[in-house]
Structure 1
Amino acid sequence: MTAARAAGRSADSAAADQIRAIGRLVGEVLGSAAVGSYLHGSAVLGGLRPASDVDVLVVSRRSLDDPRRRALLDGLLAISGSRVGARPVELTVVVQSEVRPWRFPPTGDFLYGEWLRAEFESGGPPRPEPMPDLALLITMVLAGDRPLAGPPPARVLDPVPPADLVRASVAGIPGLLDDLDGDTRNVVLTLARVWSTLATGEIRSKDAAADWALARLPPEHRPVLRHARELYLTCGYADESWGAELTARVRSHVDRVLAEIERLARR
């Protein structure tokens, strides 16, 4: 076995252990209130990449009370991220009655993301809030059909109408643009995915969305996306090198992709 294959197997095993730990935590904290827990994101869209989060949607019968919010947050802080030698975790809890029957925008009951760690450590557990992204998460959960616990997702969740998938896809763009300078790789790849989702109705992995977009971009706008895709497939969380030439081309690339997104959104 080559060193690369051995490292890949080790990473897969570590991710599996982390996913089992997440499942145990959810079971301990939510107990009988948990309807089901489901993988989404990279895990169901072609496999985890070096910088992929572990994404989990939990469907609950009722909103979390304050002690359970605290217990879930404390458990996730101990499971998630490089501080504990693990992948970042993104875990969302939604009360089933908020999304079945479906309505937009739905309210999420709890959202943990590693990018919010400092906020949680200083301000405490997350509270319920409108969460348009749930349209995307639910669509991925239904397509991926990867329950960690509970019945198949089609027995728990309603499908999201295409119009709401479009609304959810574009709702996060202002926040993405705010992060462009500090999180260039992720923003460039996510915009490619928004474009491909609006054009096809299918949510692709970030690298597959990049492939789709590269085939449709003029040659002068391809290098930025090609580099972001390569970073995503080969580098870890902190490894992001662009160089002066590519950095100077990021904004024009983003403007071109935004023009395509805006054209499709208007349609």
Structure 2
Amino acid sequence: MPEHHADRLVPLVRSALGDGNVLAVHLHGSAVLGALGPYSDLDLLAVVRRPTTVDERRALTGALMKVSGGGDRPVELVVVVQDEVRPWRYPPDCEFLYGEWLRGDYERGVVPGPGPMPDLAPLLTVALMGNTSLYGPPPAELLDPVPPADLRRAVVEGVPDLMADLGSDTRNVLLTLARVWTTLATGGIRSKDAAADWALDRLPEEHRAVLARARAVCLGQRPERWDDLRAGVRPCADFLVDAIGRARADQAP
């Protein structure tokens, strides 16, 4: 699997959304956290001047479906209108989202559209941390920093949806819960495997094998297999959710 095809995606985004409309394309996620593992998406953030049209979003969706996955890394692309995130407000609005987990919707003709997206808070935070622009000025010239209180609020908001996917997306759910806990406890955002390292040092012995398996799979050290640990998955996830709740309560004013 090629490690990087981000540079080839910039012309695609500019063509679909208009050269004059695209202010910048930034890397975020695993690529800037130093943890681009075998299962990692290639995470891109595009900042645009104006709202997109349905035809532009349809064209972008179709183009991404042709290049995402297959022989290259899956692409996750988020588009934001600069005026919707600067000055910062919560919840922020996402203009467009492409991710391979939504491919079935795209194949049925669904065109991603604008809407609130709390997950933009950690996403923009990582983009600012990474400070990696593939096109246009660096992130700090276009984006405001996310207040710590909004970052904490955002990472907690997605926990119920995560738990609903525990059976079908076990590795990702466990690692994301560990990262939420880490962010609440430390105020920083770490890669999923680094967050798992942090959490493993604080987990009771009976839950460590489950989270350690998720970390090993993420790093490509073990195959994706849960049958031997299935009975421990839910208790481990429940412990992480309880830890998140305690850490959130500790941060309450």
Same structural fold, with TM-score higher than 0.5 when normalized by the shorter chain: yes
**d(CA) in 1 for partners of 2:204, 2:132:** 37
Amino acid at match of 1:196: T
* Residue 27 (str. 1) matches residue 10 (str. 2): no
Q: Which runs of 4+ in 1 moved over 4 A?
A: none
Matched, 1:146 2:132: yes
Q: Which runs of 5+ in 1 are unaligned?
A: 1-10
- Determine if the alignment matches structure 1 residue 201 to structure 2 residue 201: no
Structure 2, unmatched stretches of 5+, are: none
- Among 214, 217, 236, which residue is 1:253 paired with? 236
1: CA distance, partners of 2:138 / 2:95: 21
Deviation at 1:235, TM superposition (A): 6.0
Aligned with residue 155 of structure 1, among 138, 141, 147: 141
Matched, 1:128 2:111: no
Q: 1:234 aligns with which of 220, 229, 253?
A: 220
- Which letter maps to 2:48? S
Which residue type is aligned with residue 49 of structure 1? G
- Measured against aligned partners, the alpha-carbon deviations of 1:232-255 in whole angstroms (never above 9, x if no partner) come to 10169xx521123x1100111111
Native 8 Å contact 1:80 1:86 kept in 2: yes
**What TM-score do the two structures reach when normalised by structure 1?**
0.90
Query: What TM-score results when the alignment is normalised by the length of structure 2?
Result: 0.95
Q: Tell me, yes or no, if structure 1 residue 43 matches structure 2 residue 31.
A: yes
- Give the counterpart of 1:74 among 50, 62, 73: 62
What code does the residue aligned with 1:260 have?
A: A
Cα deviation, residue 124, structure 1:
2.6
Q: In structure 2, what is the Cα distance between the partners aligned to 1:210 and 1:162?
A: 21
CA distance in structure 2 between the aligned counterparts of 1:80 and 1:235, rounded to whole angstroms: 24
State whether residues 50 and 235 of structure 1, in contact with CA within 8 Å, keep that contact through their aligned partners in structure 2.
Answer: no
AA paired with 1:131? M
Of the candidates 101, 104, 109, which is equivalent to residue 118 of structure 1?
A: 104
CA contact (8 A) 1:51 1:235 kept: no
Worse overlay, 257-266 or 134-143? 257-266
Q: Distance in 2 between matches of 1:109 and 1:211?
A: 34
**1:55: how far off?**
0.4
1:96-131 CA-partner distances (Å, limit 9, x unpaired) = 011100000011000000000010110331010110
Task: Determine which structure has the larger helix proportion and give its number.
Answer: 1
- Which letter does structure 2 place at the counterpart of 1:183? D
Q: How many residues align?
A: 249
**Counterpart of 1:222 in 2: which secondary structure?**
helix
Q: 1:15 Cα deviation (Å)?
A: 3.1
Q: Secondary structure at the match of 1:93?
A: strand
CA RMSD, 1 decimal: 1.2
